Amino acid sequence: MQIDNYLIRQTSLEKLFNNLIGNGKTVFAPQASEKRILFEKVKAFSEITDNYLVTTNAAKSVVFPRTEKLFSYKKTKETTEITDASTEAVPEVVLWGTRPCDAAAFIPLTDTFNGDYPDILYNNRRGKVYLLSFSCATCDEYCFCTSVNGSPGNTAGSDILFTKLSTGDYLAEVITEKGKKLVAENQTLFEAAPEEEKEPNLAKVKTYFNQDEIQAKLQNLFENPVWDEKSRACLGCGSCAFVCPVCSCFDIQDEKHGSKGTRLRCWDSCGFSLFTLHTSGHNPRETQGARWRQRILHKFLYMPDKSKVAGCVGCGRCSRVCPADINILETVTSI
């Protein structure tokens, strides 16, 4: 699709925000708390911070909640009645302030929840999400989007991408139908495209590796000491998976209250020792090294083999959050 360029004044961003709220949309945006910046539901423009690199948590919970009802049931003497959770209305959600890596992460995430078995719960939510991303002007040593086919000004996945220019105003690249719809609803706020180039306003993210080369190398790396070596300090806490915008492994659990209850889908992680444990006690992934290998191979080999897109967008969240200082970039570049 042809990308339309506009200028939006710094002062108009708040108007855009207010219009979105006024139109009944729920807005999630980066909000500063004591130590962290989190994607949270916001009601006023003043609650949003623009002083952040990436949020600590990923925006995925908007389409893939941490726990989600699949259905509810009621058991009677005679039978069981099931109420489908996918018929419940889901709100229109604007993700305001996603980074280009966050937006790109929705591509592999959507792949996972589709294929031969389209997941209507995910798709219902995803269909109602608008992604208004902001390019990155800064990066840190954990960022590596340019190694996984991304960039600090990448438009893939976003509906609109804003890039702050030297004047303080923004270049608005309108990428999708959804983006165009928002522009049409807020026409007066979008002015003729600026003259200024986008590129000089973007962070310079070092390219550490080439994803295709890593993919090729991993083909023959299943049995390798690197997995144990790099995961020796791993606590198996699962934080890396929970903050990852692409990780989508889940568990299915039932919750019961008397004769009623729900079946839930809950985030899970391949890093947990119980993840693959058979009831017999046998565990196909016995060691933390085997689990770390699964995480790397899934993201950098299995996913790109299957759908051409890697399962990592280089946001660096997992490495920033890891209590054992395990660094995915360090593992991948050591291969």
Partner 1 sequence: MNNPNIYIPYLMRIEKITQEAPGVKTFRLKFENKQEAEEFEFKAGQFGEYSIVGVGESTFCIASSPTRKGYIECTFRQVGRVTSALASAEEGDVIGFRGPYGNTFPIDEWKGKNLVFIAGGIALPPMRCVIWNALDLRENFEDITIVYGARTVADLVYKHELEEWGNRPDIKLVTTVDPGGETPDWKGEIGFVPSVLEKVAPSAENTIAIVCGPPIMIKFTFPVLEKLGFADHNIYTTLENRMKCGFGKCGRCNVGEKYVCIDGPVFSGEELKLLPAEY
Ligand X SMILES: Cc1cc2nc3c(=O)[nH]c(=O)nc-3n(C[C@H](O)[C@H](O)[C@H](O)COP(=O)(O)OP(=O)(O)OC[C@H]3O[C@@H](n4cnc5c(N)ncnc54)[C@H](O)[C@@H]3O)c2cc1C
Which residues in this chain contact ligand SF4 in the complex, by CB under 6 A?
234-240, 243-246, 271, 299, 312-318, 322-324, 326, 328
CA 292 to chain centre: 20
Site residues for ligand X, window 272-331 (CB under 6 A)? 274, 279
Q: In the stretch 198-237, what mask flags binding to partner 1 with x, by CB under 8 A?
A: ------------------------xx--------------
Parallel, antiparallel or unpaired: strands 26-32 and 37-42: antiparallel
List the one residue from 46, 80, 187, 188 that touches partner 1 (CB under 8 A).
Answer: 80
Which residues in the 258-297 window bind partner 1 by CB under 8 A? 261, 263, 265, 268, 270, 275-280, 282, 284-285, 290, 294, 297
Q: Tell me how far apart the terminal alpha carbons of the chain are, to the nearest angstrom.
A: 37
* Residue 252 binding partner 1, by CB under 8 A: yes
Closest distance between partner 1 and the C-beta of residue 121, in Å? 7
Considering only CA atoms, which of 240, 259, 260, 234 is closest in space to residue 316? 240
- Quick one: which segment of 5-13, 98-106, 113-121, 326-334 binds partner 1 (CB under 8 A)? 113-121
Query: Which option in partner 1, ligand X, ligand SF4, none does residue 313 bind, with CB closer than 5 to 8 A by kind?
Result: ligand SF4
Instruction: CB nearer to partner 1: give 122 or 144.
Output: 122
- Taking alpha carbons only, the member of 142, 62, 61, 54 closest to residue 100 is 54
SS (H, E, C) 217-229: HHCCCCCCCHHHH
How many helices (H) and strands (E) the chain has is answered by 11, 12
Instruction: Kindly write out the interface string for residues 109-148 of this chain, putting x where it contacts ligand X by CB under 6 A and - elsewhere.
Output: ----------------------------------------
The rounded distance, in Å, linking the Cα atoms of 173 and 168 is: 16
Three-state secondary structure call for residue 283: coil
Torsion angle defined by CA atoms of residues 183, 187, 193 and 199, in that order, rounded to the nearest 10 degrees: -30
Give the C-alpha separation, 170 to 84, whole Å.
43
One of 7, 27, 53, 85 touching partner 1 (CB under 8 A):
85
Query: Nearest approach, Cβ of 6 to partner 1 (angstroms)?
Result: 38
Residue 80 or 188 with smaller CB distance to partner 1: 80
The token pair that represents 226 in the structure block:
């690197």
Contacts of 222 (CB under 8 A, 6+ apart): 293, 297
Compute CA distances 262 → 213, 259, 290, whole Å.
Answer: 45, 10, 33
How near is the Cβ of 328 to ligand SF4 at its closest, in Å?
5
Tell me the Cα Rg of the chain.
21
Rule CB under 6 A: which residues touch ligand X?
251, 274, 279
Rule CB under 8 A: which residues touch partner 1?
70-71, 73, 75, 79-80, 82, 84-86, 112-113, 115-121, 222-223, 248-256, 261, 263, 265, 268, 270, 275-280, 282, 284-285, 290, 294, 297-298, 301-302, 305-306
